Amino acid sequence: MILEAAPLHVRPGQGAAFEAAFLQAQRIIASMPGYRSHRLERCIERPDEYLLLVEWDTLEAHEQGFRGSAGYQEWKRLLHHFYDPFPVVSHYAAVGGASSSAS
């Protein structure tokens, strides 16, 4: 499993419009092969900042599958105009034995 982390800086005053657009766009990403789950979090201290976390089966599922899809063009149309600056996306793999969940 790969975790995609995308810190999103939304143009000031555009948070509500971004969130509404994301509600539409999330259906696109959720329909992609290799997609597992996603979460969108809004920063408490800096309300124009968001963090998108997406779990993928593989890096290729995100980089080639999603980004190479027709759905990605719609994703871009819905969301990319909200970002300033454009996000730098990173991918992470779990460190064995170094995670836990509350019961």
Residue 97 is classified by DSSP as T
List the one residue out of 16, 15, 18 whose CA is nearest residue 80: 18
Q: Within 10 A of 65 (CB to CB), how many other CB atoms are there?
A: 19
| C-alpha 90, offset from chain centre | 10
Per-residue pLDDT 10s for the chain (103 aa) are 999 999 999 999 999 999 999 999 999 999 999 999 999 999 999 999 999 999 999 999 999 999 999 999 999 999 999 999 999 999 999 999 898 888 6
List, for residues 60-82, the tens digit of each pLDDT value.
999 999 999 999 999 999 999 99
Q: Read off the pTM.
A: 0.93
- What is the predicted pLDDT for the residue at 99? 83
Rounded Cα distance between 18 and 26, Å, is: 12
CATH value of 2-87 in 3.40.50.1980, 3.30.70.100, 1.20.1280.260, 3.40.50.1370: 3.30.70.100
